[in-house]
Each structure stands twice: as C-alpha cells, then as structure tokens.
Amino acid sequence: MEMIQTALPYVQIVLAVLLVATVLLQQRGSSIGGAFGGDNFSATFHKRRGGELFLFRAAIVLATLFVGSALLNILI
C-alpha cells in the first residue's frame, strides 16, 4: 500500500503529460467559420481514420486511467 502511495504521483504526472500530448496532436475538425456560427458541413461528415482514430482512442484511454488514478489517490 505504501508503494502505491509513493508511485501514484509519478504515474499521474506521466498520464497527464501523455494526455496533454494526445489532445494537442489531434487535428481540429472545424474551420474558423464554424467557431463564429457559420455553416461548416465538412465537420458534420468527418470520419476519423488512421492516426487520428488512434489518437482519439488513446486520449479516451489515458483520460480514463487518469481519472481512475485520481480516484485511487483520494481513496488511499
């Protein structure tokens, strides 16, 4: 139990850095016109493929692991 308490902050730092990196590496799906209320039909019919799909799924997994480690830190 004490080993988990010692290692958990380092695990959270690594997960946080990886999560930030995966979010920042993802391409933005909408153009600047969509941000100001303009029609942006290209974002509606966009399907993730290849590397973009991998980054999307990696971000979900890393976010889940980060939340789990944060909850574990609270419970310990």
Count Cα neighbours of 24 within 13 Å in the Cβ-side half-sphere. Answer: 6
Can you give the pLDDT at residue 10?
96
Can you give the pLDDT at residue 44?
59
Q: What is the pTM of this model?
A: 0.75
Amino acid symbol at 32: I
pLDDT in tens, 44-58: 567 778 888 999 999
DSSP designation for 1: -
- In the predicted model, residues of the chain with pLDDT beneath 70 are 28-45
Can you give the pLDDT at residue 24?
93
Can you give the pLDDT at residue 21?
95
Place of tokens 């574990």: 72
